[in-house]
A and B are shown apart, each in its own frame.
Chain A
Amino acid sequence: AQRVTQPEKLLSVFKGAPVELKCNYSYSGSPELFWYVQYSRQRLQLLLRHISRESIKGFTADLNKGETSFHLKKPFAQEEDSAMYYCALATQGGSEKLVFGKGTKLTVNP
């Protein structure tokens, strides 16, 4: 069965500190991984996807198939990064059906 695990419900860091939000997945096929972000009172929006290999708002994430992980990282956190972050998995075959993790609430303190 497909599963996405985000072990941390809450993560608090100070401004300028590095941040890593953990995500592990379980899927027997070839996964497509995403990170979605939800800022306060706003809708869920795509932050980045592993196939794009891009950096958005200073965030990067590398798919590690050996460790079945897709951790989200940023070297220097900013206060505006405070939000709810969801890791999501789309299964092979072009499916747009996403399996979401439970989310991690990131708080960046001044």
Chain B
Amino acid sequence: GAVVSQHPSWVICKSGTSVKIECRSLDFQATTMFWYRQFPKQSLMLMATSNEGSKATYEQGVEKDKFLINHASLTLSTLTVTSAHPEDSSFYICSASSTGPGNSPLHFGNGTRLTVT
């Protein structure tokens, strides 16, 4: 079945530094990928929609300059948390659809646990 790989699985960084998270569709092409954030014991909150070859679409309240998204190819989207602060510590999850717009299901990555010290 379709697999989405996310890397790294966990990362610890110092406050003020930037962290890049990769999301890859391993055996299918994904024109659209999604980035979610999950706080402890909370639901997944959609942060942005990553579109291959164009700018990402951010949800209300999500700072696009803080969470940079690049979707340079049909199999890779990256999320960069810039100038990270402790409040950015969270679980970040990406997802992609293997069947194109209008046809879920989405396939999810394993998530990245970010801890900012």
Are both chains from one complex? Answer: yes
Question: Residues of A at under 8 Å CB distance from B?
Answer: 9, 32, 34, 36, 42-46, 49, 86, 90, 93-103
Selected from B34, B93, B105, the residue in CB contact (under 8 A) with A49 is B105
Q: What 0/1 readout, one digit per residue, does chain B (13-52) give for beta carbons within 8 Å of chain A?
A: 0000000000000000000101000000111111001000
Shortest Cβ distance from A48 into B: residue: B105
The interface residues of chain B lying within 8 Å CB-to-CB of A97 are: 34, 46, 49
Q: In the complex, are the beta carbons of A96 and B46 less than 8 A apart?
A: no
Q: What CA separation (Å) do A34 and B108 show in the bound complex?
A: 14
Instruction: State whether B108 touches A44 (Cβ < 8 A).
Output: yes
- A98 in contact with B109 given A44-B93, A86-B43, A103-B43 (CB within 8 Å): no
* CB-CB nearest in chain B for A36: B108
Extra inter-chain contacts (12) besides given A44-B93, A45-B107, A97-B46, CB under 8 Å:
A34-B105, A43-B110, A44-B108, A86-B43, A94-B101, A94-B103, A95-B102, A96-B32, A96-B97, A97-B34, A100-B45, A103-B43
Residues from chain B with a CB closer than 8 A to the CB of A98 are: 34, 44, 46, 104, 106
**What residues on B are CB-neighbors of A95 within 8 Å?**
102
* A101 CA / B45 CA spacing, docked (Å): 10
B106 touches A43 (CB 8 A): no
Hey, what's the 0/1 contact readout for B86-117 against A, CB within 8 Å counting as 1? 00000001010100011111111111000000
The CA-CA distance from A34 to B106 in the complex, in Å, is 10
Cβ-closest chain A residue relative to B6: A43
From residue B107, how far is it (CB to closest CB) to chain A in Å? 8
State which of A42, A43, A45, A94 has its C-beta within 8 Å of the C-beta of B102: A94
Most central of A45, A86, A98 by chain B CB within 10 Å = A98
27 A–B contacts, CB within 8 A, in A order: A9-B41, A32-B104, A34-B105, A43-B4, A43-B109, A44-B93, A44-B95, A44-B108, A46-B105, A94-B101, A94-B102, A94-B103, A95-B102, A96-B32, A96-B101, A96-B104, A96-B106, A97-B34, A97-B46, A98-B34, A98-B46, A98-B104, A98-B106, A99-B46, A100-B43, A100-B44, A101-B43
